[in-house]
């Protein structure tokens, strides 16, 4: 199974690159942000609780996202592989993912990180906020909070995969196709 984690701060291009990867390799895209926004648009209790945190740029509790991912893994038993986008975002989530995948004998092949500096991220997110309709993209204060959450809680997840020799990082600034080619080269070398 081709199980990959696409890693990087908000605005690094994970969603865009995930889309191209699932097209090329026939994988299932698991974005916890998308799953949470779908809960919000369906007006579920989980969605309403998550929205309060997401609107402030704060991470939702680990058990909520781990539960959603576990459910999706079970619902896609015949998948060729998964692209995890925006998950795991804490070391506890990474540990839980390893456990979930161990029970399926399909470990993470690697984590690919897209490196983009904070100024560029802020610009990209503000631009995206103009037409994405996402309230968390439209407000500079919330954007900075999301980047801070990333630096405090999510950046350490890289160390988790480095310790397993699974971490690769590439420059996330450039054209979409150039970055995709680099990601694909990394995948081919795994
Ligand atoms: P994203 O679409 O990945 O930028 O996520 C949007 C928001 O959803 C984040 O700012 C968090 O509030 C929440 N979220 C998404 N994925 C996770 C996760 N793995 N852990 C905790 N919160 C998450």
In tens, the pLDDT along 129-163 reads: 998 888 999 999 999 999 999 999 999 999 999 99
Kindly give the number of the ligand 1 atom that is closest to the alpha carbon of 57.
10
Q: Sign of the CA dihedral 101, 106, 110, 115?
A: negative
Residue 106 half-sphere exposure, CB side, CA atoms within 13 Å?
17
What are the domain boundaries of the chain? 4-184
Angle at 111 between CA 109 and CA 112, to 5 degrees: 125
Residue ranges lining ligand 1, Cβ < 6 Å: 10, 32-33, 36, 53-54, 57-60, 65, 86-87, 89, 93, 136, 146
Q: Which class is 4-184 in CATH?
A: alpha beta
On the question of pLDDT at 166 being above 90, the answer is yes
Helix axes 176-189, 14-25, angle to 10 degrees: 60
Give the single-character DSSP code of 61: P
- C-alpha 186/C-alpha 6 separation (Å) is 12
128 labelled catalytic: yes
**113-119 mean pLDDT:** 95
User: What tens digit of pLDDT does each residue of 86-98 get?
Assistant: 999 999 999 999 9
How much is the pTM? 0.96
Q: How far apart are CA 187 and CA 110, in angstroms?
A: 8
């Amino acid at each position: 199974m081709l199980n990959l984690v696409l890693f990087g701060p908000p605005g690094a291009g994970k969603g865009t690159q995930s889309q191209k990867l699932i097209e090329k390799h026939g994988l299932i895209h698991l974005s916890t942000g998308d799953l949470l926004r779908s809960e919000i648009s369906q007006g579920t209790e989980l969605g309403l609780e998550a929205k309060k945190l997401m609107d402030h740029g704060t991470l939702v509790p680990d058990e909520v996202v781990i539960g959603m991912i576990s459910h999706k893994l079970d619902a896609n038993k015949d998948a060729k592989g998964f692209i995890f986008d925006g998950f795991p975002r804490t070391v506890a989530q990474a540990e839980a993912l390893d456990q979930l995948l161990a029970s399926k004998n399909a470990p993470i092949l690697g984590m690919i990180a897209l490196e983009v500096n904070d100024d560029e991220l802020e610009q990209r997110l503000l631009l995206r906020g103009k037409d994405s309709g996402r309230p968390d993209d439209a407000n500079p204060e919330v954007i900075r909070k999301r980047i801070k959450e990333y630096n405090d809680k999510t950046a350490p997840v890289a160390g988790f995969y480095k310790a397993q020799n699974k971490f690769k990082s590439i420059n996330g600034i450039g054209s979409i196709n150039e970055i995709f080619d680099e990601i694909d080269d990394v995948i081919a070398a795994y």
